[in-house]
């Protein structure tokens, strides 16, 4: 069965420090992969997506992610974190089901940013 | 371009009462999803529509939950009767393809 694992429930970084959020997936074929961000009381905003091609994808707000097929990973990175990046981050895999796609989400990683 | 619109944003009801959530997807998006997000967890799919057809409702608790998408545009999700365990954020999303765009959600509290 398809699944997404985000090993880190909570991460704290200092403002200006680099960030890497981990994501591992389980899926038989090449998946569609996504990172979403959710601020308190808000819906999910799409940060970036991977469908095929270049394994390093750029997203909004200075985020990037790298798809590594051999490790079944799609880790999210940012070189310098801003206080406004504090939020919850969700990795998702787009899995084919009955001829259509559905998104399966990880449990999320809550990011706190210290000034 | 307007995003996915959900209403209400917040709802507090007593257990055993009915409740309904409304969603207006992004124009032109044929796929519509309802997800439930429990506190501290990722969203879980309840039902997915392609136009007006529910193509995946395997996770929808059909004894108390129902959904409809009339004319393949707006959608309503209903719970009757609500239970304490239904307290969660209900998210609607629409999609032109593999990625989904989410509304702000409805936070339901059942007391």
**How many angstroms separate the CA atoms of A42 and B48, rounded?**
21
Per residue, what are the HEC states of B93-108?
EEECCCCCEECCCEEE
Query: Using a CB-CB distance cutoff of 8 angstroms, which residues of chain A are in contact with residue B45?
Result: 102-104
> Looking at the partner chain, which of B40, B98, B104 has a beta carbon nearest the beta carbon of A32?
B98
- Please compute the mean of the pLDDT values over residues B23-34 and round it to a whole number: 95
Write the pLDDT tens digit of every residue in A31-70: 899 999 999 888 899 999 999 889 999 999 999 999 999 9
Contact B98 A101 (CB under 8 A): yes
pLDDT of residue A98: 59
Per residue, what are the HEC states of chain A?
CCEEECCCCEEEEECCCCEEECCEEECCCCCEEEEEEECCCCCEEEEEEECCCCCEEECHHHCEEEEEHHHCEEEEEECCCCHHHCEEEEEEEEEEECCEEEEEECCCEEEEEEC
Contact B4 A43 (CB under 8 A): yes
**How many angstroms separate the CA atoms of A95 and A21, rounded?**
21
Contact B56 A98 (CB under 8 A): yes
- Please compute the mean of the pLDDT values over residues A76-105 and round it to a whole number: 89
Contact B56 A4 (CB under 8 A): no
pLDDT confidence of A99, banded at 50, 70, 90? low
């Amino acid at each position: 069965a398809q699944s997404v694992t985000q090993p880190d429930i909570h991460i704290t970084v200092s403002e200006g420090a680099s960030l890497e959020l981990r994501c591992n997936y389980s899926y038989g074929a090449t998946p569609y992969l996504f990172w979403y961000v959710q601020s308190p009381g808000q819906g999910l905003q799409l940060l970036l997506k991977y469908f095929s091609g270049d394994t390093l994808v750029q997203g909004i707000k200075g985020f990037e992610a790298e798809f590594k097929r051999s490790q079944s990973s799609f880790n999210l990175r940012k070189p310098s974190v801003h206080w406004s990046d504090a939020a919850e981050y969700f990795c998702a895999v787009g899995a084919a089901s009955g001829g259509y796609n559905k998104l399966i989400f990880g449990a999320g990683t809550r990011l706190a940013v210290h000034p | 371009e307007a995003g996915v619109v959900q209403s209400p944003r917040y709802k507090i009801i007593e257990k055993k009462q009915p409740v309904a959530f409304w969603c207006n997807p992004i124009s032109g998006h044929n796929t519509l999803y309802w997800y439930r997000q429990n506190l501290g967890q990722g969203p879980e799919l309840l039902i997915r529509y392609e136009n007006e057809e529910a193509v995946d409702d395997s996770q929808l608790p059909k004894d108390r939950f129902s959904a409809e998408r009339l004319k393949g545009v707006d959608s309503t999700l209903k719970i009757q009767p609500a239970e304490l365990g239904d307290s969660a954020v209900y998210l609607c999303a629409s999609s032109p393809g593999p990625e989904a765009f989410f509304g702000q959600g409805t936070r339901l509290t059942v007391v």
